[in-house]
Amino acid sequence: MVKSRDTSPELTLRKSLWRMGLRYRLGGYGLTGKPDIVFVSSKVAIFVDGDYWHGNQWRIRNKKSLKDQLRNINNSEYWEKKITGNIERDRKNNELLEKGGWRVLRFWESDIKKRLDSVVEEVVSIINRHKE
């Protein structure tokens, strides 16, 4: 079973933000798309997107496209439809949240693993900008 919350990259980011003194809400706070981390007073919604499920893995693997990545797997048409559907849903959720005045941040799981400090720095910068 694939976890939709409390994934390793999500927990890593949450712990780092907490150590920086940033306090947040979990569980989507009733928002469209169920963000992983929510800063209510700053109106910042953060999503931690899995590379495979949200369509970034083909870039990591130096493939030409998602279709190229899925070429030799069973039921590739199903998986391509599933992942492109996730990408489109993410885009629509971003639009809806932004129309509601929310700042949406999306981070790939691979970015959290490879460059956690810069991801945390970006979040801190945006939260601090709201306080000014």
Please, how many CA atoms are within 13 Å of residue 26, restricted to the half-sphere of its CB?
11
pLDDT at 117 over 70: yes
The pTM (predicted TM-score) of the whole model is: 0.88
CATH architecture of 8-131: 3-Layer(aba) Sandwich (3.40)
Cα(12)–Cα(10) distance, integer angstroms: 5
| Confidence at residue 3, expressed as pLDDT on a 0 to 100 scale | 59
pLDDT at 38 over 80: yes
Cα(50)–Cα(101) distance, integer angstroms: 25
pLDDT at 69 over 80: no
Q: Are strands 103-108 and 44-49 parallel, antiparallel or unpaired?
A: parallel
pLDDT at 65 over 80: no
Domain regions of the chain by residue span: 8-131
Cα(12)–Cα(116) distance, integer angstroms: 8
Where is average pLDDT lowest: 15-24, 40-49, 55-64, 84-93?
A: 55-64
